[in-house]
Copies of this chain bind each other. A is one copy, B any other.
Amino acid sequence: MENKQKIVIAEVGRHLGESVTFGCWLTRRRSSGKIQFLQLRDGTGYIQGVLVKEEVPEQVWEEASRLTQESSLYITGVVREDPRSPSGFELSVTGVEVIQVTQDYPITPKEHGVDFLMDNRHLWLRAPRQRAILKIRAQIISAVQSFFDERGFTLVDPPILTPSSAEGTTELFHIKYFDEDAYLTQSGQLYMEAAAMALGKVYSFGPTFRAEKSKTRRHLIEFWMIEPEMAFVDHEENLRVQEQFVSHVVGEVLKNCRPELETLGRDIAALERVKPPFPRITYDQAIDMLKELGMELPWGEDFGAPHETALAEKFDRPMFITHYPTGIKAFYMKPDPNRPEVVLCADMIAPEGYGEIIGGSQRIDDPELMEQRFKEHDLSSEAYQWYMDLRRYGTVPHSGFGLGLERTVAWICGLDHVRETIPFPRMLYRLYP
């Protein structure tokens, strides 16, 4: 293959009328006896190769005839335009060099159960639908980075191994760290607050862990979070950043992943409505709306997924629920100065039943109030001295939020279950492969 032009399928459009060679896998072969159609993939794209028996050497025809599903090969041919094909091109095959004839590929075109597919996740990734999700996931991550990098944020990696957790240890994975006890991080936020005092505006992108014995279509044990934190930014500006951020991410997917959205059969119009400003309701208004919907809830109780879904159905794009009761939110959230029984926080609820994708708030900046919260929440003051220091030494108003990547991928892709949103999902009974 040395003297042929070696390309990838994504580039065939630049080689119209030329002879090209590329490595690929066969996804499907059909033959009429006089003509063979080879469906080919190389990870960058898909193309159909066509062999006409009378026009190719006997040996090339025979080689092609041996190809089974997921066989690997180098193929040579001339790139032709083909308006009927999704890519717009097809390949008039002139040469086939088989690398491996695959026997009994486990994932056949027939239906398979989810457990079987999960056991074969390393192969299932090759399916067009799974590839499309992974491409969109990567585009979402890239859009996260471009949004923050263009706005002067600095990427900061908070630690994964932490000495303790601010929010209880029951849902934490424990690790023996030489002679000490460590836990896998649930959130990098506290560390990001320290970083914001050094760098102004920062964001993280990394894995987080929750040892939760729940098995729902929204829960993963290992999931990725994006956690921005901004010095000198208040609750109002925090919400503006969030709606611009999510709109940017959706916009980039719409711009760059149209074929993948089509592979998934995603409702494009629903995504095109994701533009700022996003509707905002307070917790109090949400309680009233739920009552009207026959889902009465006493003031002070948290919403579950059904409440969030019912509220989100009233709106055509992501929406904010703000000003939750202080008692049901994290210890570090700043009370509303006009009404300290609620905090300057917001959850962003995705439309179409996908639930909360962002939680955020302005943080407490007052050292005395923070000391009080430490006592109320029984946070061992030694382990959190460093966090208290952020209020002792040059405290400033600051805000931040956390976006759950997998729930965002599920929403943007329109998936029923988060298990398909990450290459190798970790769930309650799923640690393999």
A residues within 8 Å of B by Cβ? 8, 10, 22-23, 25, 42-44, 70-72, 99-100, 102-103, 105-106, 120-123, 125-126, 130-131, 134-135, 138, 141-142, 145, 149, 152, 154-163, 173-178, 180, 182, 184, 191, 194-201, 206-207, 209, 211, 213, 221-222, 224, 231-232, 383, 386-387, 389-390, 392-397, 422-424, 426, 428-429, 431-433
Contacts and interface: CB of A to CB of B under 8 A. Distances in A.
A125 B194 CA distance: 8
16 contacts: A25-B197, A44-B199, A44-B200, A72-B396, A100-B396, A123-B393, A134-B198, A138-B155, A156-B423, A159-B222, A159-B423, A161-B209, A163-B432, A175-B175, A175-B184, A386-B432
A177 to B, nearest CB: 6
Given A125-B195, A389-B122, A152 B8 contact: yes
Given A72-B396, A157-B207, A393-B105, A23 B99 contact: no
Contact of A423 (B126, B130, B158, B209): B158
Contact of A194 (B100, B122, B178): B122
This chain's copy number in the assembly: 2
Contacts of A71: 394
Given A22-B232, A134-B199, A178-B428, 4 more contacts: A43-B196, A106-B393, A161-B222, A163-B431
A144 to B, nearest CB: 11
Contacts of A149: 142
Contact of A134 (B42, B156, B422): B156
A126 B72 CA distance: 54
A362 to B, nearest CB: 14
A161 B206 contact: no
A395 B156 contact: no
Contact of A131 (B162, B174, B198): B198
Nearest to A428: B178
A196 B44 CA distance: 10
A394 B72 contact: yes
Given A175-B174, A213-B178, A396-B72, A43 B198 contact: yes
A354 to B, nearest CB: 20
A369 to B, nearest CB: 13
A196 B43 CA distance: 8
* Nearest 3 A/B pairs, CB to CB: A43-B200, A23-B232, A386-B433
A173 B177 contact: yes
Contacts of A199: 43-44, 125, 131, 134-135
A135 B161 contact: no
